[in-house]
Amino acid sequence: MTRSSRRLTRLLAAATVATTLAACGGGDDGGGGGGGGGGENEASDVGITEDTIKLGAHYPLTGVAAPGYSEIPTGVQAYFDHVNANGGVYDRQIEYVYRDDAYNPTNTSAVVNQLVLEDEVFAVVGGLGTPTHSAVLEFLNSERVPDLFVSSGSRLWGETPEDYPYTFGWQTDYVSEGKILGQYIAENLPDAKVGLFLQDDDLGADGESGLREYIDDQIVEVQSYVPGNTDVGPQIAALQAAGADVVVGFNVPSYTALSQLVSLRLGYQPQWFYSNVGSDPTLVGSLLANFSQGQVTDATLLDGAITTEYFPGTDSPDDPWVQMFQQIWDEQGQEGELTTFRLYGMAQAYTTVQALQAAGQNPTRDDLVAAIEQVGADWEGPLFAPFRYSEDSHMGTSGMRVVQVAGAAVEELTPVLTTDLGDAEIEESDREAATPPENGIPDEEAAD
Amino acid sequence: MTQPPDTPVVSTGEISSEAPVQATAAANAPTASAGGGRSFLPANTLLRHLLVLVACAVGAVVLLEITDPFTNSQLAQLTYYAIAAGGLTVLTGLNGQISLGHGALMAVGAYTTALMLDADEPLPLPVVLLAAVALATVVGALVGVAAARLHGPYLAGATLALAVGLPGLAVYYGDLFGGEQGLRVRAPRAPESFESFIDLVSGNPPSATKWLAYVGTICLLITFFLLANLVRSRIGRTWRAVRDQEVAAELAGINLGAWRVLAFVVSAACAGLAGGVLALVVRLAAPSGFTLVLSLALLTAIVIGGLGSLVGVLLGSALLVFLPPFVTDLGADLGLNSTEAAQLAPFVYGLVLVVVMIFAPAGVVGTIRMRWLTARARRAARGAGS
């Protein structure tokens, strides 16, 4: 069976289930995928009881990395609350425990020990950060705990499923992002002299390797910074001196703000590109105001900068997924506005519910992993491009689109492009944007 | 020149001659009640310490076997904090030097361990840990030579530079040290003798977590045994002499610089071992694990426990390990959401530190010991008066 026809079958199957449910007057979504066959719920593995399923996560809730990132779990929680209010998954309520690691790997190790050994979670979902999650990669895989949807774009989470069979990525990896940005520059700005502004870790290194696939000969200067050192004056000055008229930044939000302020001071006005990680206009705006002590009040400095998106953020309020999540946030969320970070968490939680439904009514931890490998690539959701999950790859979504910041919104510059690690071609995604389900809860059938 | 009679004369080159006496009250406590007429322990220090060591080893096995796997992992955490803080308390409590750089020395040990275990055919674990100790000792000796010329805040400043600068090297030489994301550590498997030992003792499953907790505990016991002997030896007495009265010590023929360097080296060796254990337990050596926060945490642990006391070190380290999860869970039980509960933990830790400083400025062990000494002196005075 070819891939597209298999997808068609799934679609038909899903449609059938949906109509059957509708015919039964089915507002009750407790059956999830409906493939469970109506048997009894059992405590089939650690973390699962007849009426609950426990998931855990680690995030920086305190310390330097907390602004922004600490909002993600509140989004996840709000979405799970919504699912629970609608009957849960296979009539099980999702219990979500997230703990603080302050973005310090030593703490991550301790809190994940606690999640696995004391809280006895069924799976860890959305653990955040490359150095932090690296510390628990071995542990989770040796304890055979599913380690789903790591919140980082490193290649570690999925390039080698034979080494880490329980770990899955989720967001677009930095290599693919670099390739997509590189191709855009090669096609639209072929004469530009490109400078790179990189964080000195895998974010910068992977991004650079992707970019070099397409614009190796256009790059005139590479500058990197070490996180924690807030003086980026020398780096920006070197880019200016090298005559770069395009600068691509693979950096975190605070360094987007710093690089903008420094180039403002130096009178340097290249065309800026920022990776998705560093480009949230709201957060960058508040950081700009903070760093400049009120002299720059919003993110207008970012106007015209080019970046990427792999899921609709708060800058596209008309997107049906954003509207759906907005409604859920208004009903279930805590205080505060719906931010792009919270949307990220809710989108991740949506994928998690898809995985739990696909794992079947009484799954073991291994069943969950097998289900994601088997059907994860067919899931539709808020993300623009499909996941790459299979037995050979646990990499997350494969694509993104290039967008330009215009005020609080963004303008699309390209359609959704998909690619993969290595020398895989960049292709336009043939997938239509998925329509969100009416009740906001996915409806996957159990994989066999 | 008039001086109030009870104010100590502060000579140049010295911060104060009075302060350490109270602050380091815990340092002067006998390791295991020595010499007291009612003690059943032998008078020979080495023999006495060996007995205590055996008792502690038995106690540790019992503790590790009756607690659940998560507590095992917390105890493993406690061991590396305690080993490092043990070295620091000797430096600060006994020799009067302050170091904010012990986190960096732990990084030396951790990276040595990570690199050596990464080899195709890694050497046996004890050799790897000894290498970690050796390398940290060398770095400690270099820093110690500088440290011997500095005092108080200047020394704190110099070691602070070490704490901030050294982890940066791991990023700068990213090819060797794995940069910001660090080196992952594959801890060697437990030997079969360990499995049969656990089977014999309790029948619990011999998990990797338990094995690492045992490795940490063995390192901790050996370190504390050696430190306790050192503290009671001529070396320990000389260190105290250097701490309390520099001029008197020098007049007695003690080479201040050399003894300071020695104290720093011993304490660096402990930090190296602690780093090695940390790398095994955390399974990662990354710069973000060795920030200034780690060095400060070690310092607060020894201050809360009581400067110079090994028992105090255990108390302080236990607080570092057990307090944050306890407070977070308490917060969650009281209805806070996870984010608020997580923010509560550093707050309560700070509060505990402030409270201890106000009500027990010599640390827990130091304060108890001073109370006890005061009470005994009163009794003795009463007895003499009657």
Give the model's pLDDT for residue A277.
86
Cα(B48)–Cα(B43) distance, rounded to whole angstroms?
A: 7
Give the model's pLDDT for residue A203.
86
Residue B347, chain A, CB below 8 Å: the answer is: no
Cβ separation B180–A200 shorter than 8 A: yes
- CATH code of the domain containing A94: 3.40.50.2300
Give the model's pLDDT for residue B105.
93
DSSP string, A13-72: HHHHHHHHHHHTT----TTTTS-STT------STTB-SSEEEEEEEE--SSTTHHHHTTH
The answer as to whether A6 is a domain residue is no
Give the model's pLDDT for residue B385.
65
pTM score, two decimals? 0.81
Give the model's pLDDT for residue B85.
94
Taking the domains of chain B in order of start, what are their residue ranges? 43-291
A294 and A367 both lie in a single domain: no
Instruction: State yes or no: pLDDT of B34 exceeds 50.
Output: no
Closest chain B residue to A57 measured between Cα atoms?
Answer: B338
Q: Which residues of B touch A227 (CB under 8 A)?
A: 180
Cβ separation B186–A106 shorter than 8 A: no
| Pairs of residues, one from chain A and one from chain B, whose beta carbons lie less than 8 Å apart | 117
A366 and A304 both lie in a single domain: no
Q: Which of residues 356-385 of A touch B (CB under 8 A)?
A: none
The answer as to whether A104 is a domain residue is yes
For residue B62, count other CB atoms closer than 10 A to its CB: 12
Closest chain B residue to A130 measured between Cα atoms?
Answer: B181
Give the model's pLDDT for residue B1.
38
What would the two tokens of residue B8 be? 């100590």
Cβ separation A100–B180 shorter than 8 A: no
Cα(A434)–Cα(A425) distance, rounded to whole angstroms?
A: 24
pLDDT for A240-264, tens place per residue?
999 999 999 998 888 888 898 899 8
A159 and A178 both lie in a single domain: no
Closest chain B residue to A229 measured between Cα atoms?
Answer: B168
Cβ separation B171–A201 shorter than 8 A: yes
DSSP string, B267-286: HHHHHHHHHHHHHHHHSEE-
> Which of A58, A59, A100 to mutate to test binding with chain B, by most B CBs within 10 Å of its CB?
A100
Task: Name the pairing type of β-strands A417-418 and A427-428.
Answer: antiparallel
pLDDT for A124-148, tens place per residue?
999 998 888 988 998 899 889 999 9
If pLDDT is split at 50, 70 and 90, which confidence band does B127 have? very high
Closest chain B residue to A105 measured between Cα atoms?
Answer: B289
CA of B178 to nearest chain A CA: how many angstroms apart? 9
- Write phi, then psi, for A239 (nearest 5 degrees): -65, -40
Place of tokens 């006998």: B30
Residue A251, chain B, CB below 8 Å: the answer is: no
A289 and A330 both lie in a single domain: no
A37 and A166 both lie in a single domain: yes
Residue B342, chain A, CB below 8 Å: the answer is: yes
Final residue in a domain of this structure, among A244, A275, A309: A309
Closest chain A residue to B347 measured between Cα atoms?
Answer: A62
Cβ separation B328–A110 shorter than 8 A: no
CA of A74 to nearest chain B CA: how many angstroms apart? 8
Final residue in a domain of this structure, among A282, A309, A336: A309
Residue A305: domain span:
174-309
Residue at A326: amino acid letter? Q
If pLDDT is split at 50, 70 and 90, which confidence band does B22 have? low
Give the model's pLDDT for residue B7.
41
Residue B77, chain A, CB below 8 Å: the answer is: yes
A249 and A262 both lie in a single domain: yes
A120 and A200 both lie in a single domain: no
Q: Compare CB distances from B339 to A74, A103, A130 and report the shortest one's residue.
A: A74
Q: Which residues of A touch B72 (CB under 8 A)?
A: 117
For residue A81, count other CB atoms closer than 10 A to its CB: 19
Q: Which residue, B179, B167, B168, is CA-closest to A154?
A: B179
Low-confidence ranges of chain A (pLDDT < 70): 1-38, 297-299
Cα(B117)–Cα(B124) distance, rounded to whole angstroms?
A: 9
Q: Which residue, B343, B345, B338, is CA-closest to B297?
A: B345
The answer as to whether A425 is a domain residue is no
Total number of domains constituting chain A = 2
Give the model's pLDDT for residue B3.
43
Residue B328, chain A, CB below 8 Å: the answer is: yes
DSSP string, B168-234: HHHHHTHHHH-GGG-EE--PPPPPHHHHHHHHHHT-----HHHHHHHHHHHHHHHHHHHHHHHHHSH
Residue B188, chain A, CB below 8 Å: the answer is: no
pLDDT for A312-345, tens place per residue?
888 888 889 999 999 999 988 778 888 888 999 9
Instruction: State yes or no: pLDDT of B243 exceeds 60.
Output: yes
Cα(A162)–Cα(B355) distance, rounded to whole angstroms?
A: 52
ipTM score: 0.77
Final residue in a domain of this structure, among A361, A384, A407: A384
